[in-house]
Structures are given as structure tokens and as C-alpha cells.
């Protein structure tokens, strides 16, 4: 077995390095430097590497280097489906599971304004879905024709009704667009079939997007595929949940990542009803589910968080001795959105940051988990579950700056639990809480694809149980 492995994460803000000794199952050192996306991305890497070498107990030569990246905003996508609550939602879930960042989701027939907006958004890729296999194909052929009006040469992945493929191929054949075809993300009503779509999206990410963004120098660092960073985190969460061979995992869990622009959740659980009498409705839930809340961020999206939050929820999470008006809260959020590097120094600013983090946790979980709906019959109530039941999960693991540096991390994580008023929410009730203070989750996702036992042991060793 190779001994020394360097794990590299080109993040949108920081390039993070983790040096691992596989033989001793130890993290030798970690280091980070600002990601230099505006010049040469390798400049930030070499700066971080110099810092890492200073921290190493002795000079070493790495036997292997593994890489993930979300630099320049990650893998940016537009998703198109027939209906917002079914095929568009299926497309969104498949895309998020592949590590993408969803810029916009469209449903029904595309308009001229939609095409103009797509040109302006300039995504890395467009995912076109719609209809179950054997259903009406008119919607797909119409939208395929509209997409040929794009002025940008954006790659398209078709993952809709398979019976539409011959006609769609004819439409795109004479266009300037590159089109990839894969299996339908929703071949039957409420059935999510995301695997083939995720695989082709990751393939395109590796083969085309890295090169198109000027990251081709990164290929010199590794002989292995470069993963999107969110995919690496999802791999780490899955390994930590399920375990490997005789090394046990933690069971059903959620990873919460609160960032400056988004709050991401990765849940590993079937999410099926705990009570067999409860009936399931809505789109099938994946065991490994990722959601990204673009309006719940601590800095870039601070104003969006303010707008998404009722004033009473702000005051619910603020220290009871802190009396802040709505205008003052707005000003505080505006200051953070205008200065993404803002660091709170006063007690009031720290309390506002902590309240924002609790709000991000609360709302992100509310959107990620399922809920119960009750229907009265002459003799009893019948309960229907839509979404995942995460009420019984074993662990919630926090990562991201505010959770890593806060003095009240556990209090922030506890905002994932249902409030007394949320009678039908399926949020976690009594999980154990952990924090990733050394930012190793993406690194362990990379390592786990090659050395799962060692990656699992390292996570269990370095994640802090609160």
C-alpha cells in the first residue's frame, strides 16, 4: 500500500490540502490558501503546499495525490423538466447528487425570455428532462427546438422520455450544440432513476469543464479522476454512515455545511416511514440526498437569508438580551453581503452571526426533510408522508466556517431539531452532534474512494463529538 497521500480541494474561496499517513492512519498536517481563480489556480496551490510543508513533522514525498474542485463556482447547471413538482424536481435531485450547482430550474414550455436568460446565465451544462417513458413527447421536442436558439455552445444532457430520443436527435443534429443522451431520470411516475444521469454529468465535468475553465494544469497533480467537491463530501458521508467491512459506521446521518453563499445538506438514510401505517406520496426519495439552499448563506447570501426569514424567527434565535429592530437586522445582513470577509468582533455581531447560522440550519432542514399530512376519515386519521423521515437519524455533522469557529457550535446544530410548533415535521429529534474542525470531509471522500477503511477510521478519529 502507498503510504503518504496528499488530498487537494480547490474550493471556490480556499484551496485546502490534507496530508495523510495511511500506515499510521494519521493526518500529518493541513493547510489552506486563497484559491487564485483570477490568475493561475496553481498559484494558490503552491502557496498552500509551502504552508503544509512547514507543518509536516519531517520532509516527505507523496506517493499519491487526489483532487476535487469547486473552483470558479463549481459545476453550474440549468435543469429543465415538464412539471415543477415531478420531472423538474427529479432533474434537480439527480443534478445535485452529481455535485452540481443549480442556477435555475425551468418547467413546461421554454419561452424566448427563458432562452435569453439561459444565455445570460451561461451555465456549464443544461439538463433536459421531461415525461415518463411512453408518455407524450411534444413537450420535449418543442423545448429541444427552443434550445437550438441558444447563442452559447452549452453542452446538453438529455435524460427524458426515451421514446422522444430519435426525434430529439434529429432536431439537435444540425445545431451547434453538443448533446449527450442517457436514461430517463423519471421513467415512471414518482420513480427517481438518477444513477445514469449522475454518471454522465460527472464524466462531462471531468472531460470538458475542468479544461474549459483553464484548470488543465490540475491534471498534472493526479492520475485519478477529479471529483466535484460536493460529490467528495457525499462520498465521505456515505462511507461514514454505512461503514466498511468490520469497521462500523455511524448509521443514518446528515452533514450540514453552512457557507458564505449556500447551506448544503447531505443526508444518508432511506427516510422511509417509521410507522408502517403511514402512506408515502410524492417523488421517490434517494438514500443519498443533497440539497443546496442558495438563499441561506452567512455572507454573499446574507441579504437573501434576511428576506427568507420572518422577523420573529430572527428574534427566536437571538439572545434574549439583544433587542435589534428589523432595520438594524437588515443593515447587519447588508454589511455581511457587501463584505464577504467580515469577521465579527463585537458581542452583538457575534450574536447576529450565531442567529443567522441557526436560521440557516433550521430552514435548510425544513426544506430537506419530509412532512406528514393528515386526512380525516369517518373513523380515523390517515397520515401521508411526503419526503424523507429523518426524525430518527443517529448523527448530524457540521462543517463550514461558522460551525468550525463558533463557541456555540452545538447550539447552532440543535436548530435542526423540530420546534414545538412543527407538529408534522420529520426533522431529527435526538441525534448526536459532531463538528469537522479540521475540514477533512471532502478529503476523506477522495481518500475513501481508494482507501475506504483508512478514510473511515480517520473520520471517526478526527471528527469531534460534541
pLDDT, one tens digit per residue, over 192-236 is 787 888 888 877 776 665 665 556 677 677 778 788 888 899 999
- Residue 218: its H or E element: none
pLDDT tens for residues 55-82? 998 889 999 999 888 765 567 888 888 7
With H, G, I as helix, E, B as strand and everything else as coil, classify residue 266.
strand
Q: Above pLDDT 90, what percent of the chain?
A: 44
**Number of alpha carbons in the 13 Å side-chain half-sphere of residue 61:** 1
Supply the pLDDT for residue 274: 86
pLDDT tens for residues 321-351? 666 788 889 999 999 999 988 989 998 899 9
* Crossing angle of the two packed helices 326-338 and 347-368, in degrees rounded to 10: 90
Section 237-247 average pLDDT:
95
Supply the pLDDT for residue 465: 96
Q: How far apart are CA 289 and CA 272, in angstroms?
A: 13
Section 40-63 average pLDDT:
88
Supply the pLDDT for residue 147: 92
Q: Are strands 227-228 and 179-181 parallel, antiparallel or unpaired?
A: unpaired
DSSP class of 416: G
pLDDT tens for residues 451-464? 999 999 999 999 99
CATH 2.60.40.1150 corresponds to the domain 74-209 = no
1, pLDDT greater than 70: no
Section 345-364 average pLDDT:
92
Mean residue pLDDT across the chain: 87
Please indicate whether residue 264 or residue 36 has the higher confidence score (pLDDT): 264
Section 283-291 average pLDDT:
87
Q: Taking the domains of the chain in order of start, what are their residue ranges?
A: 4-71+217-245+440-465, 74-209, 253-435
Nearest to 100 by CA among 79, 75, 121: 75
Partner residues linked to 397 by β-bridges: 255, 434
185, pLDDT greater than 70: yes
Please indicate whether residue 389 or residue 218 has the higher confidence score (pLDDT): 389
Supply the pLDDT for residue 146: 92
Question: Longest Cα pair distance anywhere in the chain, in angstroms?
Answer: 76
Supply the pLDDT for residue 24: 93
Section 132-161 average pLDDT:
89
CATH code linked to domain 4-71+217-245+440-465: 3.30.420.40
Confidence of residue 291 (pLDDT cuts 50, 70, 90): confident
Please indicate whether residue 377 or residue 429 has the higher confidence score (pLDDT): 429
Section 256-266 average pLDDT:
89
Cβ proximity of 269 and 431 under 8 Å = no
Q: Above pLDDT 70, what percent of the chain?
A: 94
Section 383-390 average pLDDT:
91
Q: How far apart are CA 405 and CA 402, in angstroms?
A: 5
Task: State pTM to two decimals.
Answer: 0.83
pLDDT tens for residues 102-145? 888 888 889 999 999 999 988 888 999 888 888 888 889 999 99
Locus of grid cell 419561452: 111
Supply the pLDDT for residue 464: 95
32-36, 260-264, 328-332: which is most confident = 328-332
Amino acid at each position: 500500500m502507498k503510504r503518504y497521500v496528499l488530498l487537494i480541494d480547490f474550493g471556490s474561496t480556499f484551496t485546502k490540502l490534507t496530508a495523510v499517513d495511511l500506515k499510521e492512519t494519521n493526518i500529518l498536517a493541513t493547510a489552506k490558501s486563497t484559491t487564485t481563480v483570477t490568475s493561475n489556480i496553481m498559484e494558490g496551490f503552491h502557496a498552500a503546499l509551502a504552508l503544509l510543508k512547514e507543518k509536516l513533522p519531517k520532509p516527505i514525498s507523496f506517493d499519491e495525490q487526489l483532487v476535487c474542485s469547486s473552483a470558479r463556482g463549481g459545476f453550474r447547471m440549468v435543469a429543465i423538466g415538464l412539471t415543477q413538482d415531478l420531472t423538474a424536481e427529479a432533474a434537480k435531485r439527480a443534478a445535485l447528487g452529481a455535485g452540481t450547482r443549480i442556477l435555475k430550474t425551468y418547467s413546461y414550455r421554454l419561452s424566448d425570455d427563458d432562452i435569453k436568460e439561459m444565455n445570460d446565465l451561461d451555465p456549464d451544462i443544461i439538463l433536459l428532462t421531461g415525461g415518463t417513458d411512453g408518455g407524450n413527447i411534444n413537450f420535449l421536442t418543442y423545448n429541444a427546438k427552443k434550445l437550438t436558439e441558444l447563442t452559447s455552445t452549452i453542452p446538453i444532457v438529455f435524460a427524458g422520455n426515451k421514446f422522444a430520443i430519435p426525434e430529439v436527435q434529429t432536431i439537435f443534429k444540425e445545431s451547434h450544440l453538443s448533446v449527450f443522451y442517457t436514461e430517463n431520470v423519471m421513467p415512471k411516475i414518482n420513480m427517481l432513476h438518477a444513477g445514469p444521469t449522475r454518471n454522465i454529468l460527472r464524466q462531462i465535468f471531468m472531460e470538458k469543464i475542468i479544461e474549459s475553465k483553464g484548470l488543465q494544469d490540475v491534471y498534472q497533480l493526479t492520475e485519478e479522476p477529479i471529483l466535484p467537491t460536493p460529490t467528495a463530501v457525499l462520498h465521505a458521508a456515505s462511507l461514514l454512515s454505512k461503514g466498511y467491512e468490520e469497521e462500523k459506521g455511524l448509521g443514518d446521518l446528515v452533514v450540514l455545511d453552512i457557507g458564505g453563499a449556500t447551506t448544503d445538506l447531505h443526508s444518508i438514510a432511506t427516510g422511509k416511514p417509521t410507522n408502517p401505517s403511514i402512506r408515502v406520496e410524492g417523488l421517490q426519495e434517494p438514500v443519498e440526498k443533497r440539497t443546496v439552499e442558495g438563499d441561506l448563506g452567512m455572507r454573499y447570501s446574507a441579504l437573501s437569508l434576511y428576506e427568507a426569514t420572518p422577523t420573529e424567527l430572527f428574534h427566536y434565535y437571538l439572545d434574549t438580551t439583544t433587542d435589534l429592530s428589523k432595520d438594524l437586522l437588515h443593515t447587519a445582513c447588508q454589511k455581511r453581503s457587501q463584505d464577504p470577509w467580515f469577521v465579527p468582533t463585537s458581542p452583538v455581531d457575534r450574536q447576529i452571526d450565531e442567529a443567522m447560522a441557526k436560521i440557516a440550519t433550521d430552514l435548510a432542514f425544513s426544506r430537506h426533510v419530509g412532512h406528514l399530512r393528515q386526512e380525516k376519515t369517518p373513523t380515523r386519521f390517515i397520515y401521508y408522508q411526503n419526503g424523507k423521515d429523518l426524525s430518527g437519524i443517529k448523527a448530524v455533522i457540521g462543517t463550514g466556517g461558522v460551525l468550525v469557529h463558533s463557541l456555540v457550535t452545538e447550539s447552532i446544530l440543535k436548530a435542526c431539531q423540530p420546534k414545538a410548533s412543527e407538529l408534522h415535521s420529520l426533522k431529527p429529534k435526538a441525534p448526536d452532534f459532531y463538528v469537522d474542525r479540521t475540514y477533512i470531509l471532502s478529503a476523506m471522500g477522495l481518500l475513501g474512494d481508494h482507501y475506504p477503511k483508512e478514510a473511515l477510521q480517520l473520520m471517526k478519529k478526527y471528527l469531534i463529538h460534541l
